[in-house]
Structure 1
Amino acid sequence: MSINTERDIQANLQIGPTDHGMVRLFIEADGVEIPMDFEPEEAEEIADEIRAAAEAARAVQA
């Protein structure tokens, strides 16, 4: 499986701060819950990667 492999799975994604000063990505799908906690600096790096991927996706669409 790669990033380009399509799947017919629905999931919910929640993003927010925790009461411990972390940033949590919470993924829920088909009865599975995955909490992923990141230091604020790590979360900023992930946000940068998401922005870069969005720019690359726009370039493919053009």
Structure 2
Amino acid sequence: MSIDKQSEIAANIQIGPTTLGMVRIYIEAENIELPLDFDPDEAEEIAEELLAAAERARQMGDAPAPNGKKKKR
């Protein structure tokens, strides 16, 4: 599956520190529990990537559609 392909899968995400000083991203979906642990520096890099992606997505949402009309949100 590519990053730009829509999916019908629903999942819950939790993010927080562990007792071992790691940052855990915990993803839970039907029949899946996926704990992902990162050291604090890696977590900050991920946060920066999320912010950059959010900004790019925001710009895409503000861009005119190919027919010249503004995209609806």
What TM bracket, shorter-length normalisation? over 0.9
The one-letter amino acid paired with 1:6 is Q
Q: Distance in 2 between matches of 1:57 and 1:10?
A: 20
Ranges of 4+ aligned residues in structure 1 off by more than 4 Å: none
Structure 2 equivalent of residue 35 of structure 1 = 35
Determine helix, strand or coil for the equivalent of 2:8: coil
Q: How does 1:7-26 map to 2 (within 5 A)?
A: 7-26=7-26
Shift of 1:47: 0.1
Q: Percent identity?
A: 58
Count of residue correspondences? 62
Unaligned ranges ≥5, structure 2: 63-73
Q: What TM-score does the superposition give when structure 1 sets the normalisation length? A: 0.97
State the structure with bigger RCO (CA 8 A, min sep 6), 1 or 2: 1
- For the aligned residue pairs, the C-alpha RMSD in angstroms reads 0.5
Structure 2 equivalent of residue 3 of structure 1 = 3
Determine helix, strand or coil for the equivalent of 2:6: coil
